[in-house]
Structure 1
């Protein structure tokens, strides 16, 4: 059966499918009007009374990638749920097992897409006032501490962090590639090119050095005092992982956990849920010295090569502050190109490094920066995009 895109079906079923397509688009799926028309035509070929057939048909049309299957399933269950007697559901005790389960990672985003404001509420507030309020809210959120934000403000900050892009400061390597303006002579390619003309004309071929983005290694403290900042910084790392493929992330509290693979999921909610599931000591104690020792011993040579930049996110409040902590920090500093310590305690104007752990760690870092609001993250982006200087070996070209 050919699909007539000029005369699509109409009626209640068409309204439902178009509304469902809009909800999917708001949830992040690339659904266009052509896919909605295809879905309407496909539903006419199946038995509309069977829910499983409708689900399979719409999934085959709207889902183009494996990462979108979970979002589609949640949206379908919310949009096409059967009518039930809500009073009986409220009076029924105890709650069913489904209500006790933890919602899937993508359910929050789907519920936000389904929740549409009524037309009356949109007409009450003029558009000019909405623009002024949004600008002032953004200015407040830029400087507001993450730990003092409400749930709605955290959601707004999460969306702002997801939209951030990290300009890539490129690291000049020793490897070469063909380059007309290169500084080195490519003798092999030059001789091959001269054979085509019998040696009468010699076309000089040159080689240029390859520039690659410097790898980033993040060590995040997930103790009780750092949990609020770590979760939002994980959103930032997830956002830059798409731009930089060489991003390694480790979480540590009382032990070290590698969450690099978990953070590579395209959906941010799914990525953070996978990180939380793989960590057993979230919001617990802090053993910075033991965690750094484990990282230097097991992962240092694997991820710190090729001029890596290390981001250490911690407040430095170590339970076992001794000479071993200073030794591990010095070893980490010597193994990387640049060590940046991000400490939320710098949000206080009168901060002084009086804690023993901070005193031992501070001499072995290149930069000491705050990480408590959006302004500090913007400053970190500028610092990562700038070239390094001083005793570090190869040159880094600043981002364009």
Structure 2
């Protein structure tokens, strides 16, 4: 996220006149603090900075707790941003020039323990580290000949078709940014509810009689209504076993983006056991969401018990989340450590409990793929669609499929 525009400095100079004489440096420090918060991901703009300058006039500047409470009250708008703000306040107001020695300052809170630091500490270390200076390219002594670029492929186009497993760390970060921009407009379905609509196709007799009582029993107009339509619920069952760990890490960003973009989304992770992570993915901060998931999922990159996990989902969660024609995304490679024990029966029951069961398998990236494993052969006859999920192109194709009308479900013998 880029720094604040230059005109904010002018706004802060106007606000500094009200902070008080002898405190001219405070406005500059407040502006630098706001820039730090923006680099850390908080939406701090001119309104928040001017409100912060006014709030500092109402508290005792020498009382650190009052200043902290005043600034957090006007610069933070969501509860999940409190931890990031607290880390920024602790680091910056100890030394406004902390950006020059960010490595030492980050050790105050983020790196005291040997364990992985919390997301807020890592984000503060990145935000307070000044961006590297780009070296100025040398000027060519003479004009270079034109280069034919008609057959070249841009970096973004190359990223669309690259397999997730073959990506470097920088390419994975770029892919995650692309995934966050995906929109999933599911095909809307009619519900049992109606809403008042003057141009609706259905006459509402009850509302017509109610309206006539206000007119002394005379029916002057007919009230009408229309059936409510809304997207169906979306349920995702994602395999996090060792063979799926690299894909699961990236697909979690897709599930996080979908969960925060629409309502009625339920997500479950399974390896050797089933875990509901719907509540954790509802956090708007992706780093905080994945940090909470790491605490509740004990079997990441372990074995796989697909049949047992689907059977447990059918028994405990199907009636809660598969109502109103839900669409189920089953994300797994089908390699079960228990073979095909109970897998066909559990998948068949899942298929009959939802409106649409889509199996996403990264093994379909191979052109010569053949369903040879027992698990794949047991599951394949009981799914509505069998699709690849190994790169950005496959995710975009999935979005287009879910946005279109549902195909006619084929009968299974």
Same-fold call, TM > 0.5? yes
Structure 1 partner of 2:119: 105
Shift in Å, 1:343: 0.6
Matches for 1:1-400 after TM superposition, within 5 Å: 7-9=14-16, 11-43=24-56, 52-82=65-95, 98-118=112-132, 120-121=133-134, 124=137, 136-322=154-340, 324-391=342-409
| Unpaired segments ≥5 residues, structure 2 | 1-10, 18-23, 140-149
Asked whether the 8 Å contact 1:9–1:41 carries over to 2, the reply is no
| Unpaired segments ≥5 residues, structure 1 | 127-131, 393-400
| Counterpart Cα distance in 1 of 2:208 and 2:288 | 52
Normalization by structure 1: what TM-score?
0.84
Q: Secondary structure at the match of 2:119?
A: coil
Identify the structure with bigger relative contact order (alpha carbons < 8 Å, sequence gap 6+). 1
Structure 2 partner of 1:395: none
Q: Which range moves more in the overlay, 277-286 or 9-18? A: 9-18
Give the number of equivalent residue pairs: 376
Shift in Å, 1:341: 0.6
Report the CA distance shift for 1:184/1:38 in structure 2 as closer, same or farther (over 3 A): closer
| Counterpart Cα distance in 2 of 1:125 and 1:316 | 54
Shift in Å, 1:337: 0.3
| Counterpart Cα distance in 1 of 2:62 and 2:69 | 13
- What per-residue deviation string (whole Å, max 9, x for no partner) do you get for residues 330-381 of structure 1? 0000100000111111111211111111011111111111111111111111
| Counterpart Cα distance in 2 of 1:283 and 1:125 | 48
Normalization by structure 2: what TM-score?
0.82
Q: Secondary structure at the match of 1:249?
A: strand
| Counterpart Cα distance in 2 of 1:280 and 1:296 | 21
| Counterpart Cα distance in 2 of 1:115 and 1:241 | 32
Computed over aligned residues only, the root mean square deviation of the Cα atoms, in angstroms, reads 3.1
- What per-residue deviation string (whole Å, max 9, x for no partner) do you get for residues 88-134 of structure 1? x7xx9xxx97142421123444444434435x5275499xxxxx9xx
Asked whether the 8 Å contact 2:325–2:354 carries over to 1, the reply is yes
| Counterpart Cα distance in 1 of 2:301 and 2:238 | 12
Report the CA distance shift for 1:123/1:77 in structure 2 as closer, same or farther (over 3 A): farther
Report the CA distance shift for 1:61/1:247 in structure 2 as closer, same or farther (over 3 A): same
Shift in Å, 1:48: 5.4
